[in-house]
Amino acid sequence: MIGRGDAVRLVEGTRASGKRRWRRSLHVPTEMSAEHRFASMIGPEAATRPSFSHGNCIVELPSCFALRKAYLSDYAQRLSISGANQAEIARELGVELKTVKSLLDTADYWRHRLGH
């Protein structure tokens, strides 16, 4: 409904709820203002779409783990192509060096699935 990129931004911008850290819930208002937190994360135009079908509901967001990993891997590869070494990429992404190696090893796999 809001697209892949906005879905990832929404999941990453929402705090975990409950005991399970992957569970994220979000209240969707019926009237979406441009100042609403939801609109500030994905933009006012995209934020109005869910308010039509899910207004005044609490929506449990999917973890989007694979999609988030795909975008992270793609970003790591773009940093590597632009000349950053693995330590710099790890600092930029806030991950360990072994995670960067894994992301770069699987970057072509994820890039194909993102449609690049």
Domain ranges of the chain: 4-63, 66-114
Higher per-residue confidence, 70 vs 18 = 70
Taking a C-beta distance cutoff of 8 angstroms, is the pair 67, 47 a contact?
no
Handedness of CA 27, 50, 41, 92 (dihedral sign): positive
- Answer yes or no: is pLDDT of 116 > 70: no
Q: What is the pLDDT averaged over residues 31-44? A: 86
Higher pLDDT, 17 or 116: 17
Predicted confidence (pLDDT) at residue 44 exceeds the cutoff of 80: yes
Strand ranges, E, within the chain: 24-28, 57-61
The pTM of the full predicted model, rounded to 2 decimals, is 0.58
